[in-house]
């Protein structure tokens, strides 16, 4: 199991704590699609639940639309998506794992992760000043930060990495394992399924059922939104990816 604070963060992303509103799931947002650069973390898909709510309140005040944030979960999600507020996959994993390792090991994960060599001085300085904005899937795929493990050895806190997925092989993705036993693993991630359209995406949970204990992860049964096989777009991304690995943070 993850630490209590990490579990609470996942709950808050699944149900953003807007005052008086229940069920506003955090949308997916990837700054690459909007080509934003040099922005605050909350504006590029790296914000905490509280930061997302605070930024939504600022925007709603500017547009005299504060009543939306106390209306319905559906209207709140539309407002967030229309204003490019949400979380992307590596931002979600970083926020949750940071809470987990701080609580269980007294380690500041964000400071510990290797992002870029000091020989690239300007880039290195930027990553020291704004580390969370510069942590992406490739950082977690780096052998300096994580090690590859087998499916049978996976546990809560490990990550599943897709490199070079989708039809163009130009997308990476990361999933966080939240629970694991011999029969199944539960996971959480921020993602956007094509079948969900403009307003259906966001933070979601799923599970992987073990059918071949000594096999690879894509040999197991993936279940998300009660969908398996070709209807499960997360599984399809795993199958399409050039590389699928389970990795463990080096602490």
Mean pLDDT of the chain: 95
E strand intervals along the chain: 146-149, 159-165, 171-180, 184-191, 202-209, 221-223, 243-249
Answer yes or no: is pLDDT of 68 > 90.
yes
Residue 146 in any domain: the answer is: no
Residue 19 in any domain: the answer is: yes
Q: Over pLDDT 90: what percentage of the chain?
A: 92
Contact indicator for 48, 95 with CB cutoff of 8 Å? yes
User: How many Å apart are CA 35 and CA 234, to the nearest integer?
Assistant: 24
Strand order in the sheet with 146-149: 146-149, 243-249, 159-165, 171-180, 184-191, 202-209, 221-223
Q: What is the DSSP letter of 84?
A: T
Structural domain that includes position 76:
4-82
Answer yes or no: is pLDDT of 175 > 90.
yes
The residue-averaged pLDDT of 124-144 equals 95
Looking at residue 36, its pLDDT comes to 52
> For residue 26, how many C-alpha atoms fall within 13 Å in the half-sphere facing its CB?
37
Residue 61 in any domain: the answer is: yes
Answer yes or no: is pLDDT of 34 > 70.
no
Q: How many residues does the chain have?
A: 251
Answer yes or no: is pLDDT of 31 > 90.
no
User: 32 - beta bridge partners?
Assistant: none
User: How many Å apart are CA 220 and CA 213, to the nearest integer?
Assistant: 8
Residue 120 in any domain: the answer is: no
The residue-averaged pLDDT of 195-216 equals 97
> What is the bridge-based pairing of β-strands 146-149 and 221-223?
unpaired
pLDDT band at 38 (very low <50, low <70, confident <90, very high): low
Structurally, the chain folds into a number of domains equal to 1
Q: What are phi and psi of 88, to 5 degrees?
A: -105, 175
Looking at residue 170, its pLDDT comes to 83
What is the reported pTM? Answer: 0.95
Residue 73 in any domain: the answer is: yes
Looking at residue 32, its pLDDT comes to 58
Rounded to 5°, angle at Cα 251 from 140 and 130 = 55
User: How many Å apart are CA 86 and CA 49, to the nearest integer?
Assistant: 9
Closest C-alpha to 162, from 111, 218, 106:
218
Residue 219 in any domain: the answer is: no
User: How many Å apart are CA 41 and CA 97, to the nearest integer?
Assistant: 17
For 86-125, write each residue's pLDDT tens digit.
Answer: 999 999 999 999 999 999 999 999 999 999 999 999 999 9
The residue-averaged pLDDT of 147-169 equals 93
Residue 13 in any domain: the answer is: yes
Residue 39 in any domain: the answer is: yes
For 219-249, write each residue's pLDDT tens digit.
Answer: 999 999 999 999 999 999 999 999 999 999 9
Answer yes or no: is pLDDT of 37 > 80.
no
């Amino acid at each position: 199991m993850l630490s209590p604070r990490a579990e609470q963060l996942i709950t808050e992303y699944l149900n953003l704590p807007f005052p008086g509103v229940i069920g506003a799931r955090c949308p997916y947002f990837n700054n690459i699609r909007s080509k934003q650069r040099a922005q605050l973390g909350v504006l590029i898909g790296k914000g905490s639940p509280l930061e997302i709510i605070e930024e939504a309140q600022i925007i709603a005040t500017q547009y005299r639309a504060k009543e939306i944030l106390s209306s319905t979960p559906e209207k709140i999600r539309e407002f967030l998506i229309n204003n490019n507020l949400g979380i992307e996959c590596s931002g979600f994993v970083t926020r949750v794992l940071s809470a987990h390792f701080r609580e269980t090991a007294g380690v500041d994960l964000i400071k510990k992760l290797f992002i870029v060599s000091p020989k690239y001085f300007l880039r290195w300085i930027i990553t020291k000043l704004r580390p969370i904005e510069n942590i992406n899937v490739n950082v977690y795929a780096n052998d300096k930060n994580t090690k590859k493990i087998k499916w049978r050895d996976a546990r809560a806190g490990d990550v599943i990495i897709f490199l070079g997925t989708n039809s163009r092989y130009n997308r990476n993705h990361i999933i966080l394992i939240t629970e694991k036993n011999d029969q199944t693993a539960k996971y959480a991630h921020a993602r956007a399924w094509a079948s969900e359209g403009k307003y259906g995406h966001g933070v979601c949970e799923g599970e992987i059922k073990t059918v071949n204990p000594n096999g690879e992860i894509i040999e197991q049964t993936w279940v998300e939104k009660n969908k398996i096989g070709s209807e499960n777009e997360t599984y399809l991304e795993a199958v399409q990816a050039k590389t699928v690995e389970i990795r463990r943070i080096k602490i």
